Amino acid sequence: MRHSPSPRWMEQGSGGFVHAILHRLQAVLFLLFATLAALPPAAAADFATVRPDVALSFPRDLGAHPAFRTEWWYVTGWITDETGSDRGFQVTFFRVRTGIGERSASRFAPTQLVLAHAAIADPAAGRLQHGERAERALPPLAGAEEGRTRAWIRDWLLEWDGTRYRARASTDAFSFELDFVPGDAPLLNGRGGFSRKAPDPRHASHYYSRPQLNVDGTLTLDGRRHVVRGSAWLDHEWSSELMPERANGWDWIGINLHEGGSLMAFRMRDGDGQPMWTALTFVEKGHIRRGEGQDAVRFVPLRVWRSPRTGAAYPVEWRLELPPAEPGERTRQLRLVPLMDDQELDSSRSTGAIYWEGAVRLLETTDDAGAGEADGVSREIGRGYLEMTGYANRPRM
């Protein structure tokens, strides 16, 4: 589950003139993108619907699904450079079907847009660095291919070559070129990749993940080139009507476990902050556990960080409670701790979205009978990404 990108196309250093017009530009873009998911339901009739009886098939479903309104390939992960410094990274390609110009004879018809978003979470910087791009799909300049993963905007790229993914992104502040090698076949979320987002089954997506990607590549940051390795996670999700009207935001995690498993969990919140729907895909020791419903997983806030810029309060530390899979089992309690507190991404001047998206560690408290978790010894069992939306404003997709 991703918020829409913030296409602040122009990175720093493009000159004072460009900065002067940035305000206006962002105002336009706000109007343009902020509503991609907010088209009235009537318009959705033209979009393909997500249906539970459609089975995913690979490699076909690695590629784009232009009949659906929204689609993304989302890669997050932890990378470690030659000095041992840990950083988080994220690169996302969105494909959006606008419903505009579908009968147009023009090659420029804006029926499909491609948007991309890249970010680096570097504790040394103390906050996120990020960049965006957006284009109408216009091969060979920008597009999202069907049949295999390949989405690109000029030199930004996410591509599957049959054995590995390759991602490339560059901004004025950083650039990276990373290869991701998956260990396993795509991991389907929900029921066979049909992932519900709300009690109403209309609100669903086709959704698979590729956890435990081995990362290998280079990161150039502040003009310094680093050779990096690490572990990443890819989500590919497409839908036409994802977010219910009543929903106000969501919390999502994708964690690679050190011992080879993975944990995906999310919850959709309503206006009161109460969970409307939750879901879980938990792979541990070769065993896959999936859950969907009002109470498939519980997110309990532990520590709140308040953004000095927006004033939004984010629960940057969480306790995750996994209910017993079978009667008699104990509720499993896990803890999420951020790589750094300030991983807020404020794009209120462009897409309007203000959200928190950052690298987190997953800790498990050692099982001491009778002892409270606070007293127990915590052990890091995985690393991944946490996304929290709807704390500053309601996200639009």
Partner 1 sequence: MRSVLRRIFVASLLKRRLGSALSLLSIALGVALGLAVQIIHGAALAEFGQGVRRMSGVADLQVVGPREGFDEALYVRLAQRPEVAEASPVVEVDALVPGLSAPLRILGVDLFRVAAVEPQLLPVAEDKVGAGAGAESDRLAALRQDAVFLSAEAEASLFDDQGGVGTSAPRRLTVQSGLRLQELEVAGKLPGARARIGVMDIAAAQDSFDRAGLLTRIDLRLAAGVTPGQALAALTPLLPAGVVLRTVDEAATEAANLSRAYRVNLNMLAAIALLTGGFLVFSAQWLAVVRRRREFAVLRALGLERGQLVRGLLAEGATLGCAGGLLGVALGHGLAALAFRFAGADLGAGFFQGVVPALHFDPLSSTAYLLLGIAAGVGGTWAPAREAARVVPARALHAAGLPASAGGSGQGRTFAALAVLAAAVAASLLPAVGGIPVGGYASVVLILAAAILALPPLAMLASRLLAAGRWPVWRLVRARFVASPQQVVVAAAGVVASVALASAMAIMVNSFRLSVDDWLTQVLPADLYLRASSASASGYLDDAALQRIRALPGVAGVDAVRAINLRLDADSTPVTLLARPVAQGWGLPLVDGTRTPAHDARRPPAWISEAIADARALKPGDRLDLPIAGALHAFTVAGIWRDYARQHGAVVIERADYVALSGDGRINDISLRLADVGDGDRVASALRELFGSDRVEIARPGEIRAVTLQIFDRTFLITYLMEAVAVAIGLFGIATTFAAQAATRKGEFGMLRHLGFTRRDVGRLLALEGSLACLMGVLAGLLGGGGVSVVLVEVINRQSFHWSMDYAVPWRALGLFALGLVVLAGVVARLAGAHAMRRSAVLVVKEDW
**Chain residues in the site for partner 1 (CB under 8 A):** 9-10, 14-15, 17-18, 21, 24-25, 27-28, 31-32, 34-36, 38-40, 43, 98, 100-101, 104-110, 134-136, 138, 140-141, 154
- Rounded to whole angstroms, the Cα distance separating 295 from 291 reads 9
Nearer Cβ to partner 1 (43/227): 43
Degrees (nearest 5) of the Cα angle 237, 239, 245? 120
Task: Give the nearest distance from C-beta 142 to partner 1 in angstroms.
Answer: 9
Nearer Cβ to partner 1 (105/185): 105
- Could you list the beta-strand ranges (E) of 285-353: 287-293, 298-306, 313-322, 332-338, 344-346
Nearer Cβ to partner 1 (110/131): 110
Task: Give the nearest distance from C-beta 16 to partner 1 in angstroms.
Answer: 11
**DSSP β-ladder status, 150-153 and 156-160:** antiparallel
DSSP H helices, 254-392, are: none
Q: What is each CA distance from 371 to 323, 367, 375, in whole angstroms?
A: 19, 8, 6
Task: Give the nearest distance from C-beta 23 to partner 1 in angstroms.
Answer: 10
Nearer Cβ to partner 1 (110/338): 110
Task: Give the nearest distance from C-beta 83 to partner 1 in angstroms.
Answer: 30
203-235 per-residue burial string, b: 16 or more CB within 10 A, e: under 16: bbbbbbbbbbbebebebebeeeebebebbbbbb
Which of 86, 82, 96 minimizes the C-alpha distance to 36? 96
Nearer Cβ to partner 1 (31/181): 31
Rounded to 5 degrees, what are φ and ψ at 151?
Answer: -130, 135
Nearer Cβ to partner 1 (97/206): 97
Taken in order 201, 203, 207, 209, the sign of the CA dihedral is: negative
Rounded to 5 degrees, what are φ and ψ at 111?
Answer: -70, -40
Task: Give the nearest distance from C-beta 374 to partner 1 in angstroms.
Answer: 47
Task: Give the nearest distance from C-beta 150 to partner 1 in angstroms.
Answer: 16
- Rounded to whole angstroms, the Cα distance separating 93 from 156 reads 9
Task: Give the nearest distance from C-beta 111 to partner 1 in angstroms.
Answer: 9
Degrees (nearest 5) of the Cα angle 29, 32, 37? 130
12 is written with which tokens?
């720093």
8 A C-beta contact, residue 276 and residue 246: yes
Task: Give the nearest distance from C-beta 70 to partner 1 in angstroms.
Answer: 14
Task: Give the nearest distance from C-beta 140 to partner 1 in angstroms.
Answer: 7
Neighbour count for residue 76 (Cβ, 10 Å): 28
Nearer Cβ to partner 1 (40/308): 40
Task: Give the nearest distance from C-beta 25 to partner 1 in angstroms.
Answer: 5
Nearer Cβ to partner 1 (96/158): 96
Nearer Cβ to partner 1 (110/382): 110
Task: Give the nearest distance from C-beta 59 to partner 1 in angstroms.
Answer: 27
- Rounded to whole angstroms, the Cα distance separating 370 from 121 reads 38
Amino acid at 240: S
Neighbour count for residue 171 (Cβ, 10 Å): 20
Nearer Cβ to partner 1 (177/284): 177
Amino acid at 72: W
8 A C-beta contact, residue 396 and residue 389: no
Nearer Cβ to partner 1 (143/211): 143
Dihedral of CA atoms 22, 3, 179, 10 in degrees, nearest 10, equals 0
